[in-house]
């Protein structure tokens, strides 16, 4: 055993492990252009979907507090939260996502949401983001500097912080990768976040939440589009295999929608602490 071999958890650099696992993952992070392009379809799949209801049922809020929603997307959580709190600040680095949020807010006559275009790496002070009672980062922690993101979110909350982090292989379907002939490595998940928090001296509450294994899609095209989003640089040959795979496992519902039952249900870790 060398002098540099870790002997306790305090000797382990979880950020080094995080970076290493990110390099080995099969998928790549979406850029601003990708999210701008997908804003409308992403909004239609997520706004008023079961995920928002599931998460918000676990987050206590009152009408007199302010909430910071970082990585808000099209308003998956911000829109329903606005009816329950004093004010919501929705932060995202995709102007397309924020535009979708603003359009949905206007359609619902919601006036207590402020949108701010900013990334995790930006100066939030310069962006004009104030400290809020509660800060939330829902499925938005896929960042190179995870430790820095956690510290920043904690700094901008006066009372509580909530994270929703993925549990591997969520949101991916390893069976789809196998069907098109690819290996699958989902990269780091919530366990890295937990250990980084521990080394910060934060001992969070953790609850595993998840959706039923049966996913509902409007039609086959919607299912194919959702699965393509999981795969980077899919070739024509792989696309044919993917479509065949989905056609094989999909079941037609009486209302015209399609059901696809996954062997690996979508699961997340709800991680939170009080300041």
For 162-209, the DSSP string reads EEEEE-TTTT--HHHHHHTT--------HHHHHHHHHHTT---EEEEE
Task: Tell me the CATH class for 11-212+265-274.
Answer: alpha beta
pLDDT tens digit string along 239-255?
A: 999 999 999 999 999 99
Over residues 197-213, mean pLDDT: 96
Domain boundaries, the chain: 11-212+265-274
Other CB atoms within 10 A of residue 128 CB: 10
Segment 138-161, tens digit of pLDDT: 999 989 899 999 999 999 999 999
The whole-number pLDDT of residue 48 equals 67
Average pLDDT, stretch 160-187?
A: 94
What gap in Å lies between CA 32 and CA 160, rounded to an integer?
29
pLDDT of 270 strictly over 60: yes
pLDDT band of 231, cuts 50, 70, 90: confident
Average pLDDT taken over every residue of the chain: 91
- Lowest mean pLDDT, pick from 36-50, 51-65, 226-240: 36-50
Average pLDDT estimate for 78-87: 97
**Residue recorded with tokens 């006559």:** 109
- Tell me what the mean pLDDT of segment 9-33 comes to: 79
């Amino acid at each position: 055993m060398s002098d540099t071999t870790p002997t306790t958890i305090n000797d382990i650099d979880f950020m080094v492990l995080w970076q290493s696992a990110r390099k080995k993952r099969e998928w790549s992070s979406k850029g601003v252009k990708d999210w701008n392009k997908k804003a409308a379809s992403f909004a239609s799949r997520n706004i008023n979907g079961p995920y928002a209801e599931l998460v918000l049922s676990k987050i206590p809020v009152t009408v007199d507090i302010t909430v910071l929603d970082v990585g808000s997307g099209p308003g998956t959580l911000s829109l329903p939260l606005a009816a329950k709190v004093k004010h919501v600040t929705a932060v995202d680095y995709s102007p397309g996502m924020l535009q979708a949020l603003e359009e949905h807010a206007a359609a619902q006559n919601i006036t207590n949401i402020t949108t701010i275009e900013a990334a995790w790496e930006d100066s939030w002070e310069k962006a004009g983001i104030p400290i809020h009672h509660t800060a939330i980062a829902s499925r938005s922690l896929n960042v190179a500097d995870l430790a820095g993101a956690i510290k920043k979110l904690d700094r901008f909350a006066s009372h509580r912080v909530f994270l929703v982090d993925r549990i591997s292989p969520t949101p991916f379907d390893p069976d789809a990768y196998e069907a098109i002939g690819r290996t699958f490595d989902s990269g780091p998940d919530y366990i890295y976040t937990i250990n980084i928090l521990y080394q910060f001296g934060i001992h969070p509450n953790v609850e595993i939440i998840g959706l039923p294994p049966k996913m509902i899609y409007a039609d086959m095209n919607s299912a194919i589009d959702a699965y393509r989003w999981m795969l980077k640089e899919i070739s024509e040959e792989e696309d044919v295999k993917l479509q065949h795979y989905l056609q094989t496992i999909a079941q037609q519902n009486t209302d015209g929608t399609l059901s696809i039952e996954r062997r690996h249900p979508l699961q997340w870790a709800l991680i939170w602490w009080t300041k």
